[in-house]
Structure 1
Amino acid sequence: MIKNIASLVLLIVSVALSFKHGWDTFNYKSNPQSLKIMTELGISEGMTPFMGTLTILTGILLLFPKSFFWGNVLNAMSIVLIMTLAMRTGNIKMVVMEIPFLMIPFIMIWLKYPFKN
């Protein structure tokens, strides 16, 4: 029971973050903080729609039991991509801040989908 509740909470948080970050990525012009971070990471304006789509797709994949695993894999890969881009620019603070978020997909895979019997 506790395992299912923990899995559900992590699922809600992960999906909410995916949708929020995807939305912020698409609306980067009205959000100067997102624009600043993407510029620092070296993400070009042409890559922005791809990153937003990838992030929202991750959130959608997490919602369904059959694609739950692949959604978590995609989530972990996108976090590792952000961490490597941050390392390339020397932003170690961002790399360290992303470590807990990198652990979430692996914990979710271990806990399994909350509504699957």
Structure 2
Amino acid sequence: MIKNLISLVLLIVSVALSFKHGWDTFNYKNNPQSLKMMNDLGISESVIPVMGVLTIVVGVLLLIPKTFFWGNVLNAMSIVLIMALALRAGNLKMVLIEIPFLIMPLIMIWLKYPFKN
């Protein structure tokens, strides 16, 4: 029971973050700090919408029991990509901030989908 509750909370947080980050990625022109951060990481303006779509797709995949695993894998891979780009840019603080967000999909894979028997 407690395992399912923890899994449910992590699922809700992860889906909410995916949708929020996806939406924010599409609205990057309204947030100059976000655009500057992406440029510092070496992400060109033409790739930003692709990242937004990927982030929203991850949120949708997490909600479907049959695609839950692959949603978490894509989420972890996108976080590792961001961490690698931050390391290349010399931004160690961002790498350290991303560590808990990398651990979250891995824990969710271990806990499994909360409503599945």
Q: Are 1:15 and 2:15 an aligned pair?
A: yes
RMSD: 0.6
Query: Structure 1, residues 88-116: CA drift from partner, whole Å, max 9, x if none?
Result: 00000000110010000000000000000
Q: Equivalents in 2 of 1:64, 1:33: separation in Å? A: 33
Q: Equivalents in 2 of 1:29, 1:116: separation in Å? A: 40
- Matches of residues 22-33 of structure 1 in structure 2 within 5 Å? 22-33=22-33
Q: Secondary structure at the match of 1:115?
A: coil
How many residue pairs match? The answer is 117
Q: Equivalents in 2 of 1:37, 1:17: separation in Å? A: 18
- In the alignment, structure 1 segments of 5+ residues that lack a partner are none
Determine the structure 1 residue equivalent to 2:98: 98
Q: Equivalents in 2 of 1:22, 1:34: separation in Å? A: 12
Question: Identity across aligned pairs (percent)?
Answer: 79
Determine the structure 2 residue equivalent to 1:110: 110
**Deviation of 1:33 (Å):** 2.3
- In the alignment, structure 2 segments of 5+ residues that lack a partner are none
TM-score by length of 1: 0.98
Q: What stretches of structure 1 move > 3 A for 4+ residues in a row?
A: none
Determine the structure 2 residue equivalent to 1:4: 4
Q: Secondary structure at the match of 1:35?
A: helix
- The letter for the 2-side match of 1:39 is N
